[in-house]
Structure 1
Amino acid sequence: MDYTKKILPSGMRVIFRKMESPLVALNLWAKVGTKDERPEKNGISHFFEHMVFKGTQSFPQNTLARKVQALGGSINAGTSLDTTNFYLVLPGEEWEAGIRILAELVTNPLFEAEDIEKEKLVVLQEINIDEDNPEERLIHLLYQEVFAETPYGMPILGKEETVKTFTREDLLEHKRRYYHPLNLSFVGVGNIEENEFFYQVEKAFSETPFSEIPWTVQSSKWCFKPGKFYREAKDVQRFYGAIGFPCASLKSEDFYALRFASVLLGEGLGSRLNISLREEKQLVDAIHTSYSYYERAGLFGIFYSFLKGDPLQVQEAIWKEIELLTNSLSKKELERARNLLKSSLYQVAETTLGSSELLGRLDVIDTADRVLNYFMYLEGMQEEKIQEVITKYFKPEQATHIVISPEGAT
């Protein structure tokens, strides 16, 4: 996973990875997400991501999308709790035009009043769709409860009452506050000349203004409330449940052991929870784990669903498997987890877009060198360390239980 990283005179971080491919992936990352929003402006990061595609000075209305397609490329974006990113994949010979397009996208958006009002309806529809989807609703509730009274507890899409208030001035302030060189990382991956890539990025962003407003710095320590039980009846036919634990952030050394714990417990048909609860006891139809890691904290989630049964019985069986894992972990299981983690990392690293996303996200909230550390910790991980973090984070008093059940179910 060789790459080169430079910091331009403006303070912008630029990363390049040489890769034999007919495609070039360009990825612009901004260190701004839901955690940086004021509660009354919740969702502005996601709305900003939408609005820049509605027209810029050089590409008004829909001409940007047509320009990208004319080059044979595809462009998209994403918003998370920590970051906003804009990515472009196109034929190798068009990479210089791609850099200029991404620079134009975030430095010269028009934010026309008519487009703002139209896009509010689009985002409100997204919010309604998520609320109607029981699996999305489950995730939303879990984050809301686990991260209660912290910025990570706010929804990425925002709320109906906040989205309706967004103005052009809000978007311009967001741009000034966060879209400046010191807050950006630009990643390029492909078969192009390295020095020329760095030169073209610096040239394209040379006129990017520095922030006029200092961005908010979050407090050094967050306090998480004790776990709770939450049940919601909904017009569904199945039970959907989750158990969530607040845990280590991406920057913690516990990050690596928690990735192992996720694979061991619930990733793949060979995981403990799948074998025990789905295959042997047949308590659930589906079960999996997810360790989501961010700059300030992490969330370890265990998700399950079933048609008929008792959520309490499922929860008891999950706790039993967690207890068993803290007492017994075979070398065979550990090797399975190690191989699966290696494989998933290789699958990401073998594509231009996957490489640019991995390097960019890590760099903007921590450091791209985390990739190199990942390989080291994969090889050196021991059973004792995994059991230590499970004992440390998976405590009943820290667990939040969420159940979405059919209306009328007991």
Structure 2
Amino acid sequence: MVRRIFKLFFGAVFLLGGFFCLSAQETAVSSLFHYTLENGLELFVMENDSAPLAYIEIAVKAGAVTQTPENAGLFHLYEHMMFKGNEKYPNQKEAYSALNKMGVSDWNGTTSIDRVNYFFTVPAALLKDGLEYWSYAVRTPLLDKQELENEKAVVLSEIEGGLSEPGRIFGAGVFKEMFPSCPWKTDTSGSPQIIKNAAVEDLKKIQEEYYVPANTALFVGGAVEHNEVYSLVNEIYGSWQNGKNAIIREKIETSPKNLFKTTKKLVFPDPRSSKNIGRLVFYLRGPDAQTEPEDTYAADVWSYLLANPAGSFVSEAVGNGDFNIPDADYIGGGYSTMRATGLISFSAAFMNDEKLSVTERAELILDYWKNQAVKDAFKNGTGYDESDIAKVKDRLEDSRIYSMETASGFLKGLSSEWASAGTDYALSYDANIVKVTRKDVTNFVEKYIKDKNGLAVLFVNPGYYEEHKKEFEKSGWQELNSENARWWKESK
């Protein structure tokens, strides 16, 4: 998984509980304001008048993590249907025409593990029109039967196109192994059979359960004034009701963290790989924001400490001739904050030579990660001292300042944090990250990394794999391929 480049910082704030915050909650970022409507809809406004534009995003806590084996893929399909007509714009042509009239050149919707979101940028003078557009799209989609059949074909073609794509094969295989009891909670594409059988009633069920104000947030930024935005949002969205079938603040159940008695090893013949280079990744389960938010702060600091070229994790590995890692850019690791699917990762690319076989070199690197690199986290002078942590906090603060150059960039990151960890977490992140100590980092390593077994995946060139297949099998590396990577192929 790709680790976040930065986290968002908002400083200590006092949060107002319940669904009844009708006045602005000003955060430590002077240009950022937070409201909660009576129906539970949240509104985040960032004032930035550097350009006469307004960014508008509506996000719903309804990603893959909320899926079941019966509806996996339907949240993505539903996302596609948002542009197919609604109560105001009866078909796709008129919905697109409305976008053109507002001068929207860049609009989109995405489905990820923790969230579905829709966004565009409009001239600031058309703020009300933009807010109304998403209100009609999200609240009153037509979900036409024929349009659904048309869109099912589009989504199925996307799934079909990804069946042979190496990155998707690898990702599907990793999630299947790391979350064996519920791999569909990490699969936004879902099962082709579920998409083929999808009916309008299935999508209406998703709408009634998840597309409700208490699961939704609006992110508005640019040349706007927060009180005006709130007034418009309350006018346009205030009548939106949650409904009797709404699923709010759902606790997500995923696979247990300590799954592996021994490290599981997969070899992935990847056509993108050169015969001269091998790549190894190693995954462990990390803290989840819904149950262990306090551990995520140390995990973030640990990620940055790991990336320090002068720290022992990088310097020792690059300096070890047996590993044959070219330089500091070829080794790393990290952690991604997720609602219920947090992962810790290590990665390294190494050159192949006659000194050691690929499997021998991979085993050495894996042993280093599991042993020496863990021990170094508890030693002084290895890149984990308080002075190193202070530098990390400075870097994170710099990232926050850089992210605020545009309202859209800042709010996109905030939207992700909101979906994965919630409002309280996002708004108090800065206050908590500055409290992280060396002991917190070592406690994180002790709890989630030390003596833990996980999943190792070794990327090799397909031709090399065929030439050395018996060696891989003898060393316990099982092949990962397009036929065994996807959970739904086994559930047929």
> Normalising to structure 1: TM-score of the pair?
0.88
Q: What 5-or-longer segments of structure 2 have no aligned partner?
A: 1-28, 353-357, 472-492
Q: Max radius of gyration: which structure? A: 2
Give the corresponding residue for 2:55.
Answer: 25
Call closer, same or farther: CA 1:225–1:253 in 2, change over 3 Å: closer
| d(CA) in 2 for partners of 1:232, 1:66 | 49
Query: Over residues 307-349 of structure 1, what are the superposed CA-to-partner deviations in whole Å (9 max), with x where a residue is unaligned?
Result: 6333222212333323312323234532442233222222323
Distance 2:93 2:316 in 1: 52
Q: Is 1:358 equivalent to 2:413 in the alignment?
A: yes
8 A contact 1:44–1:163 mirrored in 2: yes
Q: Does 1:325 align with 2:356?
A: no
Instruction: Please say if 1:149 is aligned against 2:181.
Output: yes
Cα distance in 2, alignment partners of residues 279 and 27 from structure 1: 47
Question: What amino acid is the match of 1:394?
Answer: I
Q: Determine the C-alpha separation between the residues in 1 that align with 2:374 and 2:162.
A: 30
Question: Which residues in structure 2 correspond to 1:317-396 (within 5 Å)?
Answer: 317-319=368-370, 320-328=372-380, 329-396=384-451
Displacement after TM superposition at 1:229 (Å): 1.0
Counterpart check, 1:226 vs 2:259: yes
- Asked whether the 8 Å contact 2:43–2:219 carries over to 1, the reply is yes
Which has a greater percent of helix? Answer: 1
The one-letter code of the counterpart of 2:266 is: R
Cα distance between partner residues in 2 of 1:145 and 1:8 = 41
Q: Which residue of 1 aligns with 2:294?
A: 253
- 1:288 maps to which residue? 332
Moved more, 94-103 or 391-400: 391-400
Query: How far off its partner does 1:369 sit?
Result: 4.1
Report deviation, 1:103: 0.8
Alignment of 1:100-179 (within 5 A): 100-150=132-182, 153-179=185-211
Q: Is the Cα contact below 8 Å between 2:55 and 2:408 reproduced in 1?
A: yes
Q: Which residue pairs with 2:23 in the alignment?
A: none
In structure 1, give the amino acid aligned to 2:365.
V
Worse-superposed segment, 117-126 or 97-106: 117-126
Q: Would you say the 8 A contact 1:259–1:291 is kept in 2?
A: yes
Shift of 1:154: 3.7
In the TM superposition, residue 175 of structure 1 has moved relative to its aligned partner by 0.9
Task: Note closer, same or farther for the CA distance 1:144–1:346 as it changes in structure 2 (3 Å cut).
Answer: farther
Q: Secondary structure at the match of 1:95?
A: helix
Q: Deviations over 1:139-198 (max 9, x none)?
A: 332222222214675412112232222222111111111112222111212232222211
Determine whether 1:316 maps to 2:367. Answer: yes
Cα deviation, 1:58-116, whole Å, max 9, x if unaligned, reads 33214333432442332212222222111222222221111011111111222233332
Equivalences, count: 409
Structure 1 stretches of at least 4 aligned residues deviating more than 6 Å after TM superposition: none
Q: How does 1:80-99 map to 2 (within 5 A)?
A: 80-99=112-131
Q: Is the 8 A contact 1:35 1:151 kept in 2?
A: no
3-state secondary structure, aligned to 1:326 = coil
Q: Which amino acid aligns with 2:98?
A: K
How far off its partner does 1:129 sit? 4.2
Structure 1 distance, partners of 2:399, 2:222, is 20
For residues 254 and 161 of structure 1, do their structure 2 counterparts lie closer, same or farther at Cα, with a shift above 3 Å needed?
same
Specify the SS of the correspondent of 2:62. coil
Percent of paired sites with the same residue: 20
CA-CA distance at 1:271 after TM superposition:
6.2
Question: In structure 2, the residue corresponding to 1:119 is in which secondary structure?
Answer: helix
Distance 1:278 1:95 in 2: 53
The match for 2:345 is: 301
Q: Distance in 2 between matches of 1:279 and 1:160?
A: 47
* Runs of at least 5 residues in structure 1 that lack an aligned partner in the other structure: none
What's the secondary structure of 2:197's corresponding residue?
coil
2:476 aligns with: none
State the SS of the aligned residue for 2:50.
Answer: coil
Change (3 A) 1:263 1:230: same
Change (3 A) 1:146 1:188: same
- Contact 1:13/1:185, CA 8 A, preserved across alignment: yes
| 1:11 to 2:40 alignment | yes
1:322 alignment partner AA:
V
The answer to whether the 8 Å contact 2:47/2:407 transfers is: no
Change (3 A) 1:235 1:297: closer
Distance 2:152 2:87 in 1: 21
Task: Give per-residue Cα distances to partners, 1:13-47, cap 9 Å, x unaligned.
Answer: 22222223322221212121212212121111121
- Provide the rounded CA distance (Å) in 2 between the counterparts of 1:213 and 1:36: 15
